[in-house]
A and B are shown apart, each in its own frame.
Chain A
Amino acid sequence: MKTKRILSVALAVVLMIGTLAFTSCGTSAPNLPIVCGETGMNDLCGIATYGVDYYNLGVKAGDMAADILLNGAKPAEMAVQGDPNPSLSVNETVAEAIGFTIPESVKAKVTGGETQKVTRVDSAIVNDGADYTIGILQLVQHIALDQSNEGFQDQLSVRMNAAGKTVNILDKNANGDESNNTTIVENFVSQKVDLIYTIATSSSQAAVTATAENNIPVVFNAVTDPVDAGLVASLDAPGKNVTGVSDMNPVEKQIELIGELLGKDTVKIGFLYTSAETNSIMQVNLGKAHCEELGYTYVEKGIVEMNDIENALAALAAEDVDAIYIPTDNLLANACALVHSVNIGE
């Protein structure tokens, strides 16, 4: 009995020392260059990226909605849109903080500055007696999704004003609660709105289910793969009452950007993403495939929750990666500031 007890105490001590040793490995700052899937995230923790601009995607969706309402365009025949010309942006503040110098060749490619915003015409948005009523369902508060909502409303107000019409906008947010998605779109259907604008995949799926019987037009945004999500039959010919804008980011261009930034032909990339998010997995798979084409090596770290970020970064640093790639990922988009402070060791 006694030896057994001594053995188990010894085991516990060894385990504790092991854990301590393991965690202390991660306490030195990784200071790794990070390339993110989109510009909003890049502003907080990345050094440079090619990004689709969610505000511009929102503007595009606003145009589609206006075409449907004002010109009688059929969603079934309107191809899903994307951002054809993603713009490069660099973040010197983060680069400086991690002690990285962005090559002049990359800086020279930066074209755009601030997003050119559409000036909202407030008089076109009214609460009573509007010509059209629109329901907006946004899954959760988050930089990119907020921007696509803002761009949509700005552009729609401009188009409505130009046509001499007014619109009533019912702007709802599911606050990240999946069960509210269905409730909100069903409310829209009861209120007989003229069009539903949905932001994020599951909100769009709930809207498609709720409008199957009544054919209220649905315009979606911030969906990376609308075909896989069951929203449209194909990107060119959606087929039913649903069309919209895809936020697929230029993963391949972003991976190539890492090589350019580091000025090396072969690099080792660490993919950091949330393993529970379909969109993230798809982007990481695209990224890995492109790495193989370019002859880059890679490792991947899928996380489940915010608490995993510190360990994941430490693990990637321990694998000697040259840079980290974070796809457009809901969890990590909300945790960019944390990623940055862990990266610089604060």
Chain B
Amino acid sequence: MDFILKGISQGLIWALLALGVYLSYRILDFADLSCEGSITLGASVAALMVSKELNPVLALLVAFLTGCVAGVVTGLLHTKLKIPPILSGILTMTALFSINLHIMGSANIQLVSVPTLYTSITRAIGLNKTYTSLIIGAAVCLLVMGILYWFFGTELGAGIRATGINEKMCRAQGIDTDVTKVIGLALSNGMIALAGAFLCQYQGYANINMGVGAIVIGLASIIIGEALFARAKNFFLMLSGIVVGAVIYRVVVAIVLYLDMPADDVKIMTAAVVVIALVLTKLGNGKKTKTKAEKAEKAEKGKESAK
């Protein structure tokens, strides 16, 4: 069962990425593909700092901020140069490949022989690495979810949410949607870079190819999370759904890799298990989920009774 716990602690790191992708893809309704570049960006920056034996927590913060800068670039490409969302993301991702190589100085930085966040905390609190990383992951996810919950309740946060729902209406209300988009993308990419910063310290190296497939993990986590919490109206519950989705995805991968099967079939099995998980949750929810009309009717009745 130990490997499940380890799958969960990896999932909690990927949850930060999933939350970042959720922010752009769902809240802002902006299909941002720069994700694969920004997770490697966060990892490169953090790995460079940690390998120079700077404070690992400081490395996390700097990684978050550089991720934000990448998000701002995508945002400006879209809002100022009028490049379509998907292409802006792809352009940033492509450019980041070179930038990441320059930051790292080579394709791989090892963090095996230097103290990382995980090794230092493990040593400080005396638990083994599995539990330490579970605690760190859970604490960071709760903290980030709390901050997001608060932020999207503020006027600016509500503006970002509104931009994703109806951009024209937003502008009619006097919200500068260019600004809300850039801020939303900055926050999204910052969180994805933060995930990269945690990931490189967890696995003991940063590699130029570590972002490959990140967008798939992010989207799969979101879809699993939404399938599980299909009826959630509470924003905090939605965010928890995403985190749980990421954890489930990584645990599924861990189980598939644990099973005895030909190496060549691992990818197709991962896909198949995710499909099965989705179908099962859909079937389970299918009967309970009310149609929009029913929901509207109920809301109407609620209002009447309130009067």
Interface residues of A in 198-257 (CB under 8 A from B): 201-202, 205-206, 208-210, 212-213, 228-231
A-B contact pairs, 25 of them (CB 8 A): A141-B263, A172-B257, A178-B203, A179-B10, A179-B14, A179-B213, A180-B253, A182-B10, A183-B254, A186-B3, A186-B7, A187-B258, A190-B1, A190-B2, A191-B3, A202-B207, A208-B204, A212-B119, A213-B129, A228-B110, A230-B113, A276-B97, A276-B209, A278-B108, A281-B106
B205 touches A205 (CB 8 A): yes
A278 touches B106 (CB 8 A): yes
**Chain B residues near A181 (CB, 8 Å)?**
203
**Chain A residues near B119 (CB, 8 Å)?**
212
Known pairs A183-B7, A186-B3, A205-B205; A230 contacts B112 (CB<8 A): yes
A187 touches B107 (CB 8 A): no
Closest to A178 in B: B210
CB distance from B5 to the nearest CB of A (A): 9
Cβ contact of A201, chosen from B108, B203, B212, cutoff 8 A: B108
**Chain B residues near A190 (CB, 8 Å)?**
1-3, 6
B107 touches A213 (CB 8 A): no
A177 touches B212 (CB 8 A): yes
Residues of A within 8 A of B (CB): 138, 141, 170-173, 175-184, 186-187, 189-191, 201-202, 205-206, 208-210, 212-213, 228-231, 275-278, 281, 304
Q: How far is the CA of A190 from the CA of B275 in the complex (A)?
A: 27
Quick check: is B217 within 8 A (CB to CB) of the other chain?
yes
**Chain B residues near A189 (CB, 8 Å)?**
2, 6
CB distance from A21 to the nearest CB of B (A): 26
CB distance from A76 to the nearest CB of B (A): 14
CB distance from A237 to the nearest CB of B (A): 15
Kindly count the residue-residue contacts between A and B in the assembled complex, taking CB atoms under 8 Å apart.
115
Known pairs A178-B207, A187-B257, A208-B204; A277 contacts B266 (CB<8 A): no
Q: How far is the CA of A231 from the CA of B107 in the complex (A)?
A: 16
B217 touches A179 (CB 8 A): yes
A206 touches B203 (CB 8 A): yes
B contact residues, total (Cβ < 8 Å): 42
Q: Is the interface of B mostly helix, strand, loop or mixed?
A: helix
Q: How far is the CA of A189 from the CA of B108 in the complex (A)?
A: 24
Interface residues of B in 187-245 (CB under 8 A from A): 199, 202-205, 207-210, 212-213, 217
B245-284 toward A: CB 8 Å interface, digit per residue (1/0)? 0000010011001101001101100000000000000000
Quick check: is B101 within 8 A (CB to CB) of the other chain?
yes
CB distance from B65 to the nearest CB of A (A): 24
A229 touches B110 (CB 8 A): yes
Given A138-B263, A281-B107, 5 new contacts (CB under 8 A): A175-B266, A190-B1, A208-B112, A209-B112, A229-B108
**Chain B residues near A184 (CB, 8 Å)?**
257
- For the complex of A and B, list the 6 residue pairs with the smallest distance between their C-beta atoms, beginning with the closest: A209-B204, A230-B110, A173-B263, A230-B112, A190-B3, A190-B2
A173 touches B129 (CB 8 A): no
Closest to B253 in A: A183
**Chain A residues near B264 (CB, 8 Å)?**
141, 173, 175
Closest to B267 in A: A175
Closest to A229 in B: B110
Q: How far is the CA of A172 from the CA of B3 in the complex (A)?
A: 15
**Chain B residues near A205 (CB, 8 Å)?**
108, 110, 112, 203-205
B107 touches A278 (CB 8 A): yes
A276 touches B263 (CB 8 A): no
A187 touches B3 (CB 8 A): yes
Cβ contact of A183, chosen from B107, B122, B257, cutoff 8 A: B257
Closest to A202 in B: B207
Q: How far is the CA of A6 from the CA of B209 in the complex (A)?
A: 45
Quick check: is B111 within 8 A (CB to CB) of the other chain?
yes
B209 touches A178 (CB 8 A): yes
Closest to B106 in A: A278
Quick check: is B128 within 8 A (CB to CB) of the other chain?
yes
CB distance from B52 to the nearest CB of A (A): 14
Q: How far is the CA of A138 from the CA of B129 in the complex (A)?
A: 24
Cβ contact of B254, chosen from A187, A208, A231, A278, cutoff 8 A: A187
B92-129 toward A: CB 8 Å interface, digit per residue (1/0)? 00000100010000111011110000010010000011
Q: How far is the CA of A141 from the CA of B254 in the complex (A)?
A: 19
B205 touches A202 (CB 8 A): yes
CB distance from B291 to the nearest CB of A (A): 39
**Chain A residues near B267 (CB, 8 Å)?**
175
Q: How far is the CA of A13 from the CA of B208 in the complex (A)?
A: 38
Cβ contact of A202, chosen from B108, B128, B129, B258, cutoff 8 A: B108
CB distance from B57 to the nearest CB of A (A): 19
Closest to A184 in B: B257
**Chain B residues near A187 (CB, 8 Å)?**
3, 6, 254, 257-258
Q: How far is the CA of A106 from the CA of B213 in the complex (A)?
A: 46
Residue among A180, A201, A208, A276 with max Cβ neighbours from chain B (10 Å): A276
B208 touches A276 (CB 8 A): yes
Q: How far is the CA of A189 from the CA of B1 in the complex (A)?
A: 11
Cβ contact of A171, chosen from B113, B209, B253, B263, cutoff 8 A: B263
**Chain A residues near B266 (CB, 8 Å)?**
173, 175, 180
**Chain B residues near A178 (CB, 8 Å)?**
203, 207, 209-210, 212
